[in-house]
Structure 1
Amino acid sequence: MVVRKLEVFGIPLPEITPGTDLARTIVESANRLGIGIRDGDVIVVTSKVVSKAMGLLVKISDVRPSTKARIIARILGKPAWEVELILRNSKRILGAFPAHMLLKHSTILNYISRDRDRALKVIESDRYLMIVDVGYRVATDAGIDTSNVPSGYVCLPPSDPDRVARGIRDRIRELTGCDVAVILSDTEGSVLRVGSLDIAIGASGIVPVTAKFGESDRFGKSKYGGVDLIADELCATAALLMGQTGESIPVVLIRGLNYERSNLELGRFRVPRGLLLKALMLGILISVVIRFLLAIFSVVDLLRGRW
């Protein structure tokens, strides 16, 4: 039996400022740790450190909210400057999620926070999450973030993560001669549980999604599935070392993965927005019909039981 293993290395970086050669900094930091860069490594980089290097920090006091942003902010209980930046960096507003209702009026907060009073203040300062289409993905609050940036500033995500990943990969090859895969990660809320996951928003050098839909399983049956989100799974793995608060590990190197190399961009695997909305509407309609039919059968069964 062949034993398979992956090695996962967290790579701390010095403070990144606009204009920093991020690829060079990653290579030098990996060398300093004694792990270096090898051919076939997968390098996961947080989008935030990329944004810092690209100078995508905005001073909050410089943001002038429009009347539209102020009205929406009042309705949603969000800072007006934040709504303005969300509107500027979104292709389309899809909806809003009442996070305060889920967290404040349930026992969930007791399990996800060690300081309930502090958590409640955070909830009250930003009661709704805006669900928007930013062009390359659906994101909460357009991917805008205030954590791990200087006070009074906010971080905007890169507008073309695939291009950025390709640029970092090319620069690492230039510096080391090694062909690696580069994945840009960002943190997004989970729809299954209260919490978040790190997902891939850009990739280069790796097939980000396996193409095994319909292939045979161990018993020869065609499988309804087999499409692994490889890039997302690698980001989730990297997040175990990166953390989200004060860990200061914005880069993770994963070594030992046998993956298919490719120049396919992550954006090619996105479900078209129009098709997604139609599927959701059809799904809601079918759900209503099924619930209606079940209610009718329940009444019929009840009447049969009486007679």
Structure 2
Amino acid sequence: MAKTLTIIGLQTIPIVKEGDDIPALIIEACKRESVSIEDGDIIVVTQKIVSKAEGRVYDLENIVPSKKALELGEATQRDPRLIELVLSDTVEVVKATPEGLIVRNIQGNICLNAGADRSNVPGETIYSLLPVNPDESSKIIRKGLQKIINKRIAVIITDTYSRPFRRGQVDLAIGFSGIFPFRDYRHTGDLYGKELRVKNTTIIDEIASVTELVIGQSTEAIPVSIVKNLTWVDGDVGMSEILLSQDEDLFKGAL
């Protein structure tokens, strides 16, 4: 029998507002669309609705730029109010350019503008930031769903990232709960019996990327998908298991 992976995008989740109960919205959408969540399903949630529900949406009109933001704004010819918003979620500015700030954000990721963006929020001066703790947000969503449906499930929160030396973007996991993030092939044999030494697949990122084909990026209005028929292992770890320290990172200082 051929292996089949099923991804179902939920199409009737309404525009999310601050304070909304995401687990309840997911369950209500499943009922409307005759979709059942079963044991072993993975719920993939875009960060934008989590950020909205958690009140991580800001108007630049209400932001007063700091001295550092003003200096970076002058150097890059970018709005210092946006730079101030980016700095509020930044641990380290890696590089400042007219295209944006490459930073290490408070969640530990190297990314553009600390994840701040204005897609899928109303208004020209409105921006969203990432959830403060995406792992905790994932756990809250998973526990909230399990209170209603009592199933073995995992939750992954995703965001879109650029990659060095490649055009385009892909969705990656920024937080997760209930699933072990790796499928480890190390010390197993390949088709010819050779030992695999480094193959340790980050399956939560692969799940994030493939579900984007269903969720989309613009007017699709599908912020949640359900992945079925995928074998995975339970886990109680978070993004700290994935993110490399600067000492471990082979690319540090090379780019």
TM-score by length of 1: 0.78
CA distance in 2: counterparts of 1:73 and 1:47, whole angstroms: 27
1:83 matched to which residue of 2? 83
Q: Give distance in 2, aligned partners of 1:188 and 1:199.
A: 7
Given the alignment of the two structures, is residue 56 of structure 1 paired with residue 28 of structure 2, yes or no? no
- Which residues of 2 match residues 120-135 of structure 1 at below 5 A? 127-135=98-106
1:277-296 aligned within 5 A: 280-281=252-253
Letter in 1 for 2:23: A
Q: Which amino acid aligns with 1:147?
A: S
Q: Which of 234, 243, 248 matches 1:270?
A: 243
Q: Is the 8 A contact 2:30 2:36 kept in 1?
A: yes
Q: Percent identity?
A: 29
Aligned partner of 2:152 in structure 1 is 179
Provide the residue aligned with 1:143 in structure 2.
Answer: 115
Cα distance in structure 2, aligned partners of 1:199 and 1:89: 19
Q: Is the 8 A contact 1:215 1:226 kept in 2?
A: no
CA distance in 2 between counterparts of 1:182 and 1:172 reads 10
- In 1, are the aligned partners of 2:121 and 2:128 still within 8 Å (CA)? yes
In the alignment, the residues of structure 2 paired with residue 279 and residue 139 of structure 1 have an alpha-carbon distance, to the nearest angstrom, of 14
Provide the C-alpha distance between the structure 2 equivalents of 1:274 and 1:128, rounded to a whole number of angstroms.
28
Aligned match of 1:119 = none
Matched AA of 1:138: I
For residues 204-252 of structure 1, the C-alpha deviation after alignment (integer angstroms, 9 at most, x for no partner) is: 1111122222422122211233211201111111111111111111111
Q: For residues 199 and 255 of structure 1, what CA distance do their matches in structure 2 show?
A: 19
- Judging by fraction of residues, say which structure has more strand: 2
Give, in whole Å, the separation in 1 of the partners of 2:150 and 2:54.
Answer: 24
1:168 aligned residue: 141
In the other structure, the counterpart of 1:94 is 94
Return the alpha-carbon distance in structure 2 between the equivalents of residues 239 and 85 of structure 1: 27
Q: Which has the larger radius of gyration?
A: 1
Q: Distance in 2 between matches of 1:280 and 1:224?
A: 23
Equivalent residue number for residue 72 of structure 1: 72
Bigger fraction of residues in helix: 1
In the superposition, the TM-score normalised over structure 2's length comes to: 0.93
- Corresponding position of 1:8: 7
Rounded Cα–Cα distance in structure 2 between residues aligned with 1:213 and 1:74: 49
Q: Does 1:221 align with 2:194?
A: yes
**Any conservation in 2 of the 1:31–1:37 contact (CA below 8 Å)?**
no
Alignment of 1:244-255 (within 5 A): 244-255=217-228
AA in 2 matched with 1:134: N
Two-structure CA RMSD over aligned residues (Å):
1.6
1:252-263 equivalences in 2 (<5 Å)? 252-263=225-236
Structure 1 residue 279, shift from structure 2 partner:
5.3
1:8-31 deviation line (CA, Å, top 9, x unaligned): 111121011111010110111012
**How many Å separate the matches in 1 of 2:77 and 2:193?**
54
Distance 2:207 2:93 in 1: 29
Moved more, 84-93 or 212-221: 212-221
The yes-or-no answer on 1:34 pairing with 2:5 is no
